[in-house]
Structure 1
Amino acid sequence: MAAALALAVALPLSVTACGGGSGGDDGKIVIGTKFDQPGLGLKNPDGTMSGFDVDVATYVAGQLGFTPDKIEWKESPSAQRETLIQNDQVKFIAATYSITDARKEKVSFAGPYLVTGQSLLVKADNTDITGPDSLQNNKKLCSVSGSTPAQRIKDKYPGVQLQQYDTYSACVEALKNGAIDAVTTDEVILAGYAAQSPGTFKIVGQPFSEENYGIGLKKDDTELQKKINDAITKMEADGDWAKAFEKNLGPAGIATPAPPAIAK
């Protein structure tokens, strides 16, 4: 009797855990991305999603058997990404998510599906900021809490007045109204904002890092990792990767690169 009762209690729990919040019994899949990054992950006023990360994630979901109408998008700010994955709130995250050793201690990655580098965005009429070294002279620089670019500034350019906001869109708004002097993050992110407001901003200097964007997923889920890597490989091979890049990031003036090799 005790054994039967234990089984009866355990069964509903296991079904619930299996469904999780990331792709359950209703046939949907929950995918994390940014909601405020034009050209990469953006929630439009009509509620639709657009951007390169969104297109890559949609393609991957399709290869996993989920049509676009079965995708539920979950906003995934930089500082919350590992927690969302660890708590099964998403199946995977495609959100300008740089693959780093520190993050790999908490989550696993598929990819990379894009390589970019950290750069600087300033007002179009700015003449005195030319790269990270020119920020050391009491310039106010904005980046996002929990991001790789913010950590790099702290580690390598301690003389910079770094201000950390929750989102890059908040940084760009602060740049627009003069509260800060520059925004730093990956070049493709900055290019999206520059393209959204033609003539207002410009990217300066050369990229001063190499960022490999991966798709974050539950740590040690090697089965899902392989499926996502296979999907990215197929997207690159059939030309859909290049089409997605040209559609989303071409207007920002970035030439379409060769897709990166998948990490083995």
Structure 2
Amino acid sequence: MTMNPLRARRLTVAAAAAVALSFTGTAFASGGAAAHRDDGKITVGIKFDQPGIGLKTPDGTYTGFDVDVATYIAKQLGHDPKDIVWKEAKSADRESLLQRGDVDFIAASYSITPKRAEKVDFAGPYLLAHQDVLIRADDHSITKPSDLNHKKLCSVTGSTSAQNVKTKIAPDAQLQEYGGYSECLTGLENGVIDAITTDDSILAGYAAQPEFKGQFKLGGFKLSNENYGIGVQKGSELKAKINTALEKMVADGSWAAAVQKNFGPAGYKAEPAPKIGVVVQ
């Protein structure tokens, strides 16, 4: 059967458009949606519920060490603070946010691990934290890591802390994984939870909040090394640029100032600034 010339031309144009669209989609996916913004904005993933690390306050502002680090990096990349679009990056969502291109980079107490490095790239590290526990100030039953066995222990879904407890620290702990540390804290405050485990920097942030003064204490256990990195999409050129920004932040004193500002009030003593590219095992 002979095809109508006009209809054939329409089909050819439609096919060409489909091919062009497929190439556009491929390029967009490989670079990430956020990376292709043309409005001068940059999208950064942070935690919204971690005092001292990344916190969205009731008035809509953002505070914490990761926020200060991300703001410094963004400035080095050519973006003023007003150009930053903050996006919540929960522990379980970080890899997918980067892979989909929903964010340009993530600074969210993001520990560098081999498993995660298979899916995303990391700049840094920019902070060396240690896993610890937060308990009620009047609790004297937890004095060493093994005391966590048979205790109700809370961590956040997707965090490395939860896995460390079950495989290395206290295999008989009654681990409960919640969506956010604020939920764990409520449980600890109400006596439903015996201890919260995550990085000491995060726990110190909670313990230092005025409304919790005197209620909680750190166990003082250095259960692991947590090398915080800046997550970027696999193969992204941002990795090298962010590493340069981090080196400058340490050199000009901004890193030390951010540590003191966010952790100093809790008496938390941070490790010296890590060397870029060196992950402490």
TM-score range with shorter-chain normalisation?
A: over 0.9
The Cα shift of 1:246 comes to 0.4
Please say if residues 149 and 186 of structure 1, whose CA atoms lie closer than 8 Å, have aligned partners that are also in contact.
Answer: yes
Gapped regions of structure 1 (runs ≥ 5): none
In the alignment, which residue of structure 1 is the partner of 2:119? 106
How far did 1:155 drift?
Answer: 1.0
Moved more, 181-190 or 126-135: 126-135
Which structure 2 residues correspond to residues 90-239 of structure 1 after superposition, within 5 A?
A: 90-136=103-149, 138-156=150-168, 157-196=170-209, 197-221=212-236, 223-239=237-253
Contact 1:123-1:202 at 8 Å conserved across structures: yes
Partner of 1:250: 264
CA distance in 2, matches of 1:160, 1:103: 25
How far is 1:206 from its partner? Answer: 2.1
Q: CA RMSD in A?
A: 2.0
Give the structure 2 partner of residue 73 of structure 1: 86
Indicate the percent of aligned positions where both proteins have the same amino acid.
57
Q: 1: distance between equivalents of 2:36 and 2:247?
A: 23
Which residue in the other structure is 2:5 paired with? none
Q: What is the one-letter code of the residue matched to 2:70?
A: A
- Specify every segment of 5 or more residues in structure 2 that has no aligned partner in the other structure, as ranges: 1-8
Provide the rounded CA distance (Å) in 2 between the counterparts of 1:211 and 1:139: 23
In structure 2, relative to structure 1, the CA distance for the partners of 1:23 and 1:175 (3 Å cut) is: farther
State whether residues 22 and 31 of structure 1, in contact with CA within 8 Å, keep that contact through their aligned partners in structure 2. Answer: no
Per the alignment, in what secondary structure is the counterpart of residue 208 of structure 2?
Answer: helix
Of structures 1 and 2, the larger Rg is shown by 2
TM-score, with normalisation over the residues of structure 2? 0.88
User: What letter matches 2:272 in structure 1?
Assistant: A
Would you say the 8 A contact 2:131–2:199 is kept in 1? yes
**1:256 shift after superposition:** 4.5
Aligned to 2:254: 240
Query: What is the TM-score of this pair, normalised by structure 1?
Result: 0.94
CA–CA distance in 2 between the matches of 1:113 and 1:64?
17
Tell me how far 1:6 sits from its aligned partner: 1.9
| Length, aligned pairs only | 262
* Residues 57 and 94, structure 1, Cα contact 8 Å, conserved in 2: yes
Letter in 1 for 2:128: V
8 Å CA contact retained: 1:32, 1:94: yes
Secondary structure (helix, strand or coil) at the match of 1:180 reads coil
Q: How far does residue 9 in structure 1 lie from its aligned partner after superposition?
A: 6.2
Equivalent positions of 1:3-18 (< 5 A) are 6=16, 10=20, 14=24, 17=28
**Alpha carbons of structure 1 residues 20 and 13: separation in structure 2 relative to 1, 3 Å:** farther
Shift of 1:131: 2.6
Structure 1 CA distance, aligned partners of 2:36 and 2:141?
Answer: 49
CA spacing shift, 1:90–1:102, aligned 2, 3 Å: same
Select 1:85's aligned residue among 80, 87, 98: 98
Q: 1:32 aligns with which of 34, 45, 51?
A: 45
* Inter-partner Cα distance in structure 2 for 1:139 and 1:227: 44
